[in-house]
Amino acid sequence: MATTVVTGSFASIGADLAQRSIERVTRALQADLRQLDITAADYAHWDETYEFVTGQRPDFPEVYLTRAALDALRVDVVWILDAEGRTVLALDAAVTPVSHAVAARLSYYAPLVSADVLPASAMYLLRMPDGPLAVSVARILHSDLSGPSVGTLVFGRYVGPTMAERLAEISQQAVQVTFLDEQEKWVASLPEKMREWLSPGESRPEQLVITDDEAVVTGHVLLRDMEARPLAVLSTTVSRDVLQLEQRTIKSVVLALVVGFTVAVFVLLVLLYRSWLARAATQRQHLEHELKLSRLVRRDGLTGLANLAHLRRLLPRLMRRADRSGSKLALLHVDLDQFRHVNDSLGHASGDRLVVAIARRLREVIGSRDLLVRVAADEFVIVAMSVTSAAAVDALAHRLRMAIALPLEIDGVVQSITASIGICLYPDDGVEPSMLLKHADIALHQAKDRGRNNHQFFKAEMITRLRERLEIERALREALERDELYLEYQPCYDLTTLRPVSLEALLRWRSPSGTWIAPSSFIPIAEQSGLIVEIGRWVLRRVCWQLAEWQRAHVPLLPVSVNVSPRQFEQPGLAETVSMLTRELGVDANLLHFEITESAAMQTSAAYLGALHTLRNLGSRILVDDFGTGYSSLSYLKHLPIDTLKIDRTFVRDMAIDGNDAAIVSAIVGIARSLGLHVVAEGVESAEQAECLRALGCDAAQGFYFSPPIPAERCQQLLEKLKVQRSSEPLRLRVLGGSEHTDVMHLSGPADVRDVRA
């Protein structure tokens, strides 16, 4: 009886299979257009796009809408309208103006596209001379999503043979596109049942399955344009050979199950009826428990994705499958940049919700056969199957970073987070699972070393650089223990009096062999390894000790600025340590200035802001180093307890001959003046630079023109020279710090600057 029931049900299996096939094709089309939505939203929210529409960036198309860019994004038509719905720009895939026929159709659709409320639809299709055009529409706003909108950006892809090939690859189904031309006539002959289904004026279902053919079963789905009129049909086929094989297999399995079940039931009823009931219940409970444990072992509890343990078990199987098919695999190790700041500012619950949202975005970008794994709190690994080329993987990594970077609202707060990605290929970069995971991780670290928010492919030389980095880290730990580190001090000079007003403590390292290691070689490694925290404590104690030594020598004291890493602020008790050291060594906290980078100044955690305010309350001053090279937002200047801006040397170097650099320096000085801040220029190497800075109103400067970094002994000689200067009219020396000038000593007049330089 069971066999008869199963056989009878096969009448509908073919139709169901065709129905599922066309649904997979439809989902593949929707996924393809969702990526187009992401791309259109990204371009629409560029400040450059906003400025182009408002007439401020006429070179926008030549710079940002190149042939290579449109090919990479698979964009066939770029259409930009102003706020009134008038066409500003209309380009085809060759980056040339669209034809008159296409332009006329675009003008026809302009009122619909630029309307405040678009028709509710999963996809928007336009009837064009060259066939259906799928479009994504985005309102043009500033990069911070502020309004009002100045227009509309439309990216379009033709739903034609090229897209059919891509949908076939994604859905693993044969795909065909048939569409109506501009006279609403079908461009290809249609079977009788399809003509009846598509007859004008008939109410019809959106999908059709045809089972008459003895060789295949076909499924069709109707696509409508923005005016809800029939426009195109997506079709797919299923071979009846597959259905017949499934039918024979299912019949055999059902028959075997029926016979086996009958025999088993008979034996159990006769021999073990009573004990069977108890054992069955026990075994059922045990099986359910094992299934739950298996799911827990293989799945991440937060996102439901596969975990690292499951990836390690599954990866060998995927590698063997790739070997059999002659294809490649790509491992993409994704790490969210600065994710801990989300946890610090919003809490771990919000961080978890952000991770879940990012996991959902990643799943939407990758292919349906690709594997997504969560391997750590803010890290994912994607195994991309059947990789065709490194360029395809590069494009996938770019799409992943774009999807992650889209603003996301978590608990009422809009978050924007970026990601770094390390990539390795199988079998090019390794033939063992552990080796592939290791190489993807090495490439990820390379991406982070290059400033985050980028992706890097694994290269063999990365291992050499990693070993060198580990060797420097080991030697640096030993150097700290063996007291190989030392400090030099670079004076900072007032540009009006040409007298030193402060010192900057600079870390130096000379190995036992006498080799001098540049700070640019070991400071980044100390930052990445966390060793910078211990080094920072050593520098702070050393500076306080040196100030105490100069104080005992009865020489005039100048404030000393110390560079502080963001990692030091992450550790509790920085301000308490400063207070303890100054009391222990008898040093005035006013003599300690702290330099933070511009990126560190953007931190907004409560612990970070609290530490800055506590340092200010002790009497110390806060300086922003390398100003002008970091974030474009200057809002932090009015919220943080900052006293001084240090102009980066890149602007100072050419300012005497480059009007742009001089304008930037002048702007920085103007900003500082309006906020009551002091300005110090770094890297001054000539009298022309010093005079130009003085003319622009800069307060002070440091650089090799005044003095290179010098040892503590020569600094003491410099301070002693200040002590012995005399003049008939005393001149009060100013010390940089906040909005006030702190009186440290009296100098006796305009001495020759060469007498006070070291």
Q: Convert the pLDDT of each residue in 93-112 to its tens digit.
A: 888 999 999 999 999 999 98
- 303 within domain boundaries: no
User: In the structure, what pLDDT confidence band is assigned to residue 725 with cuts at 50, 70 and 90?
Assistant: low
Backbone angles phi, psi at 742, to 5 degrees: -90, 125
Look at residue 627 in the predicted model and tell me its pLDDT: 83
Mean pLDDT score across all residues of the chain? 83
Domain boundary among the residues 431, 458, 485 is at 458
Whether residue 300 has pLDDT greater than 80: yes
Q: Give the separation between CA 367 and CA 457, rounded to whole angstroms.
A: 20
Among 83-92, 211-220, 663-672, the minimum mean pLDDT is found in 211-220
Do both 653 and 602 map to the same domain? Answer: yes
Task: Using the Cα atoms of residue 525, residue 531, residue 535 and residue 540 in order, give the sign of their dihedral.
Answer: positive
Whether residue 351 has pLDDT greater than 50: yes
- The answer to whether the CB of 332 falls within 8 A of the CB of 396 is yes
- Residue whose C-alpha is closest to residue 420's, from 451, 395, 390, 399: 451
Do both 408 and 534 map to the same domain? Answer: no
Q: Which residues of 283-305 are buried (b: 16+ CB within 10 A; e: fewer)?
A: eeeeeeeeeeeeeeeebbeebeb
Domain boundary among the residues 436, 458, 480 is at 458
Decide the pairing of beta strands 560-563 and 592-597: parallel
CATH number (domain holding residue 147): 3.30.450.220
Q: Give the separation between CA 678 and CA 667, rounded to whole angstroms.
A: 13
pLDDT per position as a tens digit, 316-338: 999 999 999 989 999 999 999 88
Do both 531 and 445 map to the same domain? Answer: no
- 324 within domain boundaries: yes
In the chain, % of residues over pLDDT 70: 85
Among 287-301, 484-498, 507-521, 649-663, the minimum mean pLDDT is found in 287-301
- 274 within domain boundaries: no
Look at residue 452 in the predicted model and tell me its pLDDT: 86
Q: Average pLDDT for residues 211-237, to the nearest whole number?
A: 83
Among 210-224, 283-297, 472-486, the minimum mean pLDDT is found in 283-297
Number of domains in the chain: 3
Look at residue 202 in the predicted model and tell me its pLDDT: 57
Which position has the higher pLDDT, 532 or 247? 532
Identify the DSSP state of 119. Answer: P
Model confidence, pTM:
0.50
CATH number (domain holding residue 410): 3.30.70.270
Q: Average pLDDT for residues 417-423, to the nearest whole number?
A: 94
Look at residue 251 in the predicted model and tell me its pLDDT: 67
- Residue whose C-alpha is closest to residue 188's, from 229, 227, 156, 235: 235
Take residue 271 and report the two structure tokens written for it.
């021999």
Which position has the higher pLDDT, 280 or 669? 669
Domain boundary among the residues 206, 223, 239 is at 239
Do both 157 and 58 map to the same domain? Answer: yes
* Cβ neighbours, 10 Å, residue 211: 17
- 569 within domain boundaries: yes
- Domain limits at 530? 470-756
User: In the structure, what pLDDT confidence band is assigned to residue 702 with cuts at 50, 70 and 90?
Assistant: very high
- Mention every residue, 6+ apart, whose C-beta is less than 8 A from residue 96: none
pLDDT per position as a tens digit, 17-32: 778 888 888 888 888 8
Q: Give the separation between CA 131 and CA 617, rounded to whole angstroms.
A: 70
Do both 450 and 515 map to the same domain? Answer: no
Take residue 494 and report the two structure tokens written for it.
């007032």
Look at residue 758 in the predicted model and tell me its pLDDT: 33
User: In the structure, what pLDDT confidence band is assigned to residue 691 with cuts at 50, 70 and 90?
Assistant: very high
Do both 233 and 312 map to the same domain? Answer: no
Estimate to the nearest angstrom the gap between the alpha carbon of 306 and the chain centroid: 22
Exposed (0-12), middle (13-18) or buried (19+): which is 44, by Cβ within 10 Å? buried
Whether residue 237 has pLDDT greater than 70: yes
Q: Average pLDDT for residues 413-427, to the nearest whole number?
A: 91
Do both 188 and 314 map to the same domain? Answer: no
Q: Average pLDDT for residues 745-754, to the nearest whole number?
A: 34
- 369 within domain boundaries: yes
Whether residue 550 has pLDDT greater than 70: yes
Do both 402 and 434 map to the same domain? Answer: yes
Look at residue 183 in the predicted model and tell me its pLDDT: 64
Look at residue 286 in the predicted model and tell me its pLDDT: 59
Length of the chain: 758
Do both 495 and 449 map to the same domain? Answer: no
Look at residue 602 in the predicted model and tell me its pLDDT: 64
pLDDT per position as a tens digit, 477-523: 888 888 889 999 999 999 999 999 999 999 999 888 888 888 888 88
Task: Using the Cα atoms of residue 209, residue 211, residue 213 and residue 218 in order, give the sign of their dihedral.
Answer: positive
Identify the DSSP state of 728. Answer: S
CATH number (domain holding residue 582): 3.20.20.450
Q: Give the separation between CA 381 and CA 383, rounded to whole angstroms.
A: 7
Q: Does a cis peptide bond (omega within 30 degrees of 0) precede residue 148?
A: yes
- 89 within domain boundaries: yes
- 289 within domain boundaries: no
Do both 112 and 87 map to the same domain? Answer: yes
**How would you write 401-421 as a 3-class SS string?**
HHHHHCCEEECCEEECCCEEE
Do both 629 and 584 map to the same domain? Answer: yes
Do both 361 and 508 map to the same domain? Answer: no
Q: Which of 379-383, 449-453, 664-668 has the highest mean pLDDT?
A: 379-383
- 101 within domain boundaries: yes
Look at residue 751 in the predicted model and tell me its pLDDT: 34
- Residue whose C-alpha is closest to residue 224's, from 207, 209, 212: 207
pLDDT per position as a tens digit, 147-195: 789 999 999 999 988 888 888 888 788 888 887 766 667 767 777 787 7
